[in-house]
A = this chain, B = another copy of it.
Amino acid sequence: MTQIKICPGSCDTGAKMQHAAFKLDKVDCSACPIRHRAVCARCEEDELERLNAIKFYRSYKAGETIVWAGDAMDFVASVVGGVASLSQTMEDGRRQMVGLLLASDFIGRPNRNTVAYDVTAVSDVTLCCFRRKPFEEMLVDTPHISQRLLEMTLDELDAAREWMLILGRKTAREKIASFLSIIARRESATDGAEVGSDVAFDLPLTREAMADYLGLTLETVSRQMSGLKRDGVIRLEGKRRVLVPDFNLLLDETGDDADGGVLV
């Protein structure tokens, strides 16, 4: 059972919230788990109210397609919880994931009403959707939104470029290690957990989806996961939970600069 915590703020009880528990009515933005990271992060009260008037929530089950490439989409959205992916498929079935969308990430392109990639719910996903037209109008007269969107787009571009190095030049083992460390970093950022030497997290993707992400086959993904386990770099609990006894050991396997540019 894939459970994603989207507990707003300081929900640290053992009880894990299911997505379904996030009621799909107009939620007060101030209680929203992504209030300070999403496209609305910099909005003032009055701006939030305008957004509130054009927003609605939608949920998708794991595996469901949210939109197909080329289809019209009459809204843009923020991922409130869960994981979605952007992917391209060639005629003969080869598929490449080109975006992995976690909580607070933005879906859709302003001033373009069709979508260029398949958008798929990887786990159960909840979106906070804004009607396209009024959102585009707000974009024009609300710098707090357009500036935040620019910043988020630049971050995504950086991520895409890091990904290009992974796809173009890394070995299968380095790809897996890079993927694991990216997920570990993002998860711990979300949890706000201490980045101690001991890291543990649930993989949000199946082996097949990891293969689509990394430009590999699922067999190779499986073999490399086994390899990293055999060599003591990771441990596995079930198929999805990953324990990293020594994070630096994992980083050594990524092929990246030891502790290179400490970009703060």
Which residues of A are at the interface with B, using a C-beta cutoff of 8 A?
A: 69-70, 86, 88, 90-92, 94-96, 98-99, 109-111, 114, 116-117, 140, 143, 146-147, 149-151, 153-154, 156-158, 160-165, 167-169, 214-215, 255-258, 261, 263
Question: In angstroms, how far is the closest chain B Cβ from the Cβ of A142?
Answer: 10
Give the contacting residue for A215; candidates B163, B168, B256; CB below 8 A: B168
A164 CA / B154 CA spacing, docked (Å): 17
A94 CA / B86 CA spacing, docked (Å): 28
Which residues of chain B come closer than 8 Å to A167, judged between CB atoms? 164, 167-168, 215
Question: In angstroms, how far is the closest chain B Cβ from the Cβ of A237?
Answer: 29
Question: In angstroms, how far is the closest chain B Cβ from the Cβ of A173?
Answer: 14
Is there contact, CB below 8 Å, between B169 and A263?
no
Do A154 and B153 form a contact, CB below 8 Å, given A96-B169, A143-B146, A215-B167? yes
Give the contacting residue for A146; candidates B95, B111, B147, B163; CB below 8 A: B147
Is there contact, CB below 8 Å, between A151 and B69?
no
Which residues of chain B come closer than 8 Å to A95, judged between CB atoms? 169
A55 CA / B96 CA spacing, docked (Å): 41
Give the contacting residue for A143; candidates B86, B140, B163; CB below 8 A: B140
Do A114 and B157 form a contact, CB below 8 Å, given A143-B143, A167-B168, A169-B90? no
Is there contact, CB below 8 Å, between B161 and A161?
no
A114 CA / B249 CA spacing, docked (Å): 28
A263 CA / B117 CA spacing, docked (Å): 12
A148 CA / B114 CA spacing, docked (Å): 20
Closest to A155 in B: B109
Give the contacting residue for A153; candidates B116, B140, B153, B263; CB below 8 A: B153
Is there contact, CB below 8 Å, between B160 and A157?
yes
Give the contacting residue for A98; candidates B92, B150, B165, B256; CB below 8 A: B165
Which residues of chain B come closer than 8 Å to A150, judged between CB atoms? 110, 146, 149-150, 153
Question: In angstroms, how far is the closest chain B Cβ from the Cβ of A63?
Answer: 21
A215 CA / B166 CA spacing, docked (Å): 10
Question: In angstroms, how far is the closest chain B Cβ from the Cβ of A209?
Answer: 13
Do A255 and B158 form a contact, CB below 8 Å, given A114-B263, A153-B150? no
